[in-house]
Copies of this chain bind each other. A is one copy, B any other.
């Protein structure tokens, strides 16, 4: 596969597309904001006038969009435009890297299959840093054959390419993981603060829990308590990282999924409520580990100021 169309050049899409160019692939790009294509064409990508224009003739189409409605209308078409599945060449592989609801992914996969096209949902984790470094994790849904094909091209942008199951399974696995992540973050925050409230040193307590049965990703990589770990958002006034607003979005998708399958998710639902409250208090653009501050007392917060 030598020719790729990349549609959607935001904070994540742009560095991802850049890695494809650097890998020597022919990359046609499109974004509704023409300015967004500039940095890519500077690297050697070819700009297009429309999504369909970029996709026509490509071996692989990759999309990176904000929400399910954008993915549905781009692939399936709407009042103003044909869908990608109407214009791509026979045998073209479709890969959507957006984080969206599983039902939209399944709907597009089904419509694509009816036209004889393979579709892979491949939401990512790893943030803008991982996108730039080419170390993203892709969690994929689709047939075995489509996954194997996708793996080759995604390998230029990520370090881990995982196969979760059939169509939509990538989205489901991503939101199960991110729902669990939010629970780890809140649970770790309240446990650390309770220790602090009893006079323990959060560094010592973190080290103990890390090697005990409380061990989890947040203690290993992303401690929410300021000054326990270097180079994490909590030690930088919760700047950078993964925004609260994005966690609220993912927790919304997880609750939407729970409603569809009539699943009970008491911890995930509680985490969503706490994160929504946190966002509404003006923390939407801070890192999601700032939920820790919901558990500290106001005096402690003020003392830092």
In the complex, chain A residues 250-289 whose Cβ is within 8 Å of any chain B Cβ: 252, 254-274, 276-277, 279-282
A97 at the interface (CB under 8 A from B): no
Assuming the A-B contacts A252-B259, A255-B255, are A194 and B176 also in contact, with contact meaning beta carbons closer than 8 angstroms in the complex?
yes
Q: Can you list, as one digit per residue, whether each of A173-201 has a CB less than 8 Å from chain B (1) or not (0)? A: 10011111101101110111111011111
Q: How many copies does the complex hold?
A: 4
Assuming the A-B contacts A252-B259, A281-B298, are A268 and B176 also in contact, with contact meaning beta carbons closer than 8 angstroms in the complex?
no
Majority SS of interface residues in chain A? helix
| Cα–Cα distance between A220 and B219 once the two chains are bound (Å) | 15
User: Which among A179, A194, A254 has the highest number of chain B CB atoms within 10 Å?
Assistant: A194
Give which listed residue, B181, B183, B263, contacts A194 with CB less than 8 A: B263
A216 at the interface (CB under 8 A from B): yes
- Cβ B268 vs Cβ A187 within 8 A: yes
- Cβ A178 vs Cβ B213 within 8 A: yes
Assuming the A-B contacts A257-B198, A280-B297, are A267 and B190 also in contact, with contact meaning beta carbons closer than 8 angstroms in the complex?
yes
Q: Which of A52-60, A164-172, A227-235 contacts B (4 or more CB under 8 A)?
A: A164-172
Give which listed residue, B176, B177, B209, B298, contacts A282 with CB less than 8 A: B298
- Cβ B160 vs Cβ A176 within 8 A: no
User: Which among A184, A216, A260, A297 has the highest number of chain B CB atoms within 10 Å?
Assistant: A216
A137 to chain B: closest residue by CB: B212
A211 to chain B: closest residue by CB: B160
- Cβ A213 vs Cβ B205 within 8 A: no
A41 at the interface (CB under 8 A from B): no
Q: How far is the CB of A223 from chain B (nearest CB, A)?
A: 13
Q: Can you list, as one digit per residue, whether each of A98-127 has a CB less than 8 Å from chain B (1) or not (0)? A: 000010000000000000000000000100
Q: How far is the CB of A171 from chain B (nearest CB, A)?
A: 9
| Cα–Cα distance between A140 and B48 once the two chains are bound (Å) | 51
Q: How far is the CB of A49 from chain B (nearest CB, A)?
A: 34
- Cβ B200 vs Cβ A165 within 8 A: yes
| Cα–Cα distance between A83 and B296 once the two chains are bound (Å) | 40
Q: How far is the CB of A305 from chain B (nearest CB, A)?
A: 13
Give which listed residue, B190, B259, B263, contacts A266 with CB less than 8 A: B190
A215 at the interface (CB under 8 A from B): yes
CB neighbours (8 Å) of A261 from chain B are 194, 197-198
CB neighbours (8 Å) of A271 from chain B are 267
Binding site for B on A (CB under 8 A): 102, 125, 137, 139, 160, 162-166, 168-169, 172-173, 176-181, 183-184, 186-188, 190-195, 197-201, 204-205, 207-209, 211-217, 220-222, 248, 252, 254-274, 276-277, 279-282, 294-298
Of all A-B residue pairs in the complex, the 3 with the closest CB atoms, nearest first, are A183-B187, A216-B216, A197-B261
